[in-house]
Structure 1
């Protein structure tokens, strides 16, 4: 940036980790399930993480709890 230029570089405070609406945790799933997710990932270009989020949201929205 030119020293004679009066344009300012504006910085905003960085959000603390975990303040982006996402939570990180680990899960155990069968290797067969991982293979299926990786297959869908390679066909669609979505990451495994994106797919797992999509699949979980779909399942939650379509879940029926019976007594």
Structure 2
């Protein structure tokens, strides 16, 4: 049997926060809220995790 471990990682982004506003398609917001409800996280936490993932994994293609 594998040993159970509680792994706690520090937040990548911390410090002062800033309030921002954005428009999302209603069906996308519904999907975000469904994930939040299923995971017990807030909408804000799901959006922060999603944006962090996107920033870490995006590829920017330059127009030549």
Same fold (TM over 0.5): yes
Tell me the matched-pair count: 48
In the alignment, which residue of structure 1 is the partner of 2:6? none
Gaps in structure 2 of 5+ consecutive residues = 1-14
Structure 1 vs Structure 2 CA RMSD: 0.9
The answer on 1:32 being equivalent to 2:2 is no
The higher-RCO structure (CA 8 Å, 6+ apart) is: 2
Q: For 1:45-56, what aligned pairs fall within 5 Å after superposition?
A: 45-56=40-51
Normalised TM-score (structure 1): 0.68
Look at both structures and tell me which one has the larger radius of gyration over its CA atoms.
Answer: 1
The answer on 1:62 being equivalent to 2:45 is no
Normalised TM-score (structure 2): 0.71
- Partners of 1:58 and 1:21 lie apart in 2 by 20
Structure 1 residue ranges (4+ consecutive) displaced by more than 3 angstroms after TM superposition: none
- How far does residue 24 in structure 1 lie from its aligned partner after superposition? 0.4
